Amino acid sequence: MKLPSSTATNLEKPQLKHFLKTQDYTKEELTEIFDLMAMLKEARKANAVPQLFKGKSIGMIFEQPSTRTRVSFETAATILGGHALFLSPKDIHLGGKENIADTSRVLSRMVDIMMARVDDHKTVADLAKHATVPVINGLCDWLHPTQMMADVFTMMEHLPEGKELSDLTVAFVGDATNVASSLMFICTKFGMNYKHIGPKKYQPPQSWVDTALENCKLSGGSFTLTEDTEEVKGCDVLVADSFYWFGQEDEKEDRLSTFIPKYVITQEMMDKAGPECQFMHCLPANDSRECTREVMESPRSVIFDEAENRLTAQMALLVYFTHKDIVIPSEETVKFHEDKIENFLKTL
């Protein structure tokens, strides 16, 4: 039986793009994703999100625990009409019976997009190298790019009156974490004045600083690296993150004694920054270490808007990376397959 000619909108497969780091994207491309976030957030509030992920699946590999990243991607897929698969190392063969290349090629044949939260950036880079569907970095030892989409969007939502994004002065206070790296990259790309404030021993490597300075040359932003917490004065946003993460437990005592009390974001530090300064944290937060509960609960804290915007970001990322593969079959093609299968079932 001959397949009828189809009027399907079978768009040419675009060049495959992954979302491993925001540095791979121009300011204009990232702005397109922010625009999409705004529209999808508005649609969600109206309970009218277009089913742009219908019939699609995201395979989510998690080598580390997660609340926000897992729930936001899973919920985003559902809201958009699709499905999310949670794949922990206990559930799949990755790194045990099967290598990354084979796992990536197999998952690519079954899901429409992959997301991986991994211990080592190389793992997510290797997944992407062998994938034939887009791969999103859901956090690695170096970067946390999906968090940045939520963070900058939250800054846009809470811009001080009369200011644009490029007018902001943002200070990250603490350790050179994956959030610190990603934040310094995206803020300098968007022309903000960015400060990393932390003890010399745990400051960012020169390669990160070079990237931030290169971004500033293009964007007109500025970058400051300092140990001096007096630098919080005049900042629009102070950002905190954990003082140690998975794999750094051996350094815990040294880290805590180095960071506490000088680099803890307290109400006193917020007041020093200024009366309009906002507080951000990707969460989970430890309110007896990097910040106080008082700051987290204060009116200037936007941490729960920031967390909600993880969902906003994931909706946009799912749509942004899969919409070009949408194939709408003609009624004739659908009828052809219906009839063929129905006729076959009658013979059973």
List contacts with ligand CP (CB under 6 A): 66-69, 139, 147, 282-284
> Can you tell me the distance from the alpha carbon of 105 to that of 326, in angstroms, rounded to the nearest whole number?
21
| Distance in Å, CB of 315 to ligand CP, minimum | 16
Exactly one of 175, 241, 281, 314 is catalytic; name it: 241
**In the complex with ligand CP, which residue's Cβ is closer, 172 or 223?**
172
Q: State the catalytic residue, choosing from 68, 117, 289, 300.
A: 117
DSSP element (H, E) containing 303: helix 303-322
The distance of closest approach from Cβ of residue 13 to ligand CP in the complex, given in angstroms and rounded to an integer, is 31
CB of 65 to ligand CP, least distance (A): 7
Helix axes 303-322, 68-79, angle to 10 degrees: 50
E-assigned strands of the chain?
57-62, 83-87, 113-117, 135-137, 169-173, 193-197, 222-226, 237-240, 278-281
Q: Using the minimum distance from each CB to ligand CP, give the nearer residue, 74 or 126.
A: 74
Q: Is 117 a catalytic residue?
A: yes
The reply to whether 23 belongs to the active site is: no
Please identify, using beta-carbon distances, which residue of 147 and 169 lies nearer to ligand CP.
147
Classify residue 49 by its DSSP letter: -
Question: Angle formed by the axes of helices 145-157 and 303-322, to 10°?
Answer: 120
Q: Which is nearer to ligand CP, 213 or 283 (CB)?
A: 283
Q: Among this protein's residues, is 68 annotated catalytic?
A: no
Q: Which of 144, 196, 255, 281 is catalytic?
A: 144
Query: Distance between CA atoms of 14 and 74, rounded to whole angstroms?
Result: 25
Query: Running DSSP on this structure, what letter comes out for residue 79?
Result: H
Among 136, 88, 146, which residue's Cα sits nearest to residue 282?
146
Least Å distance between CB 139 and ligand CP?
Answer: 6
- Name the minimum Å distance from CB 324 to ligand CP: 27
Cα dist from 66 to 18, 62, 73, 127, 217, whole Å? 21, 8, 11, 20, 36
Beta-bridged to residue 85, according to DSSP, are: 59
- Residue tagged active-site, from 147, 203, 278, 314: 147
From the CB of 117, what's the least distance to ligand CP, in Å? 7
User: Is 206 an annotated catalytic residue?
Assistant: no
Closest CA to 277 of 332, 314, 240, 309: 240
Q: Which is nearer to ligand CP, 111 or 282 (CB)?
A: 282
Q: Give the span between the Cα atoms of 170 and 76, in whole angstroms.
A: 29
Nearer to ligand CP, 64 or 219 (CB): 64
Catalytic residues: 117, 144, 147, 241, 282, 310
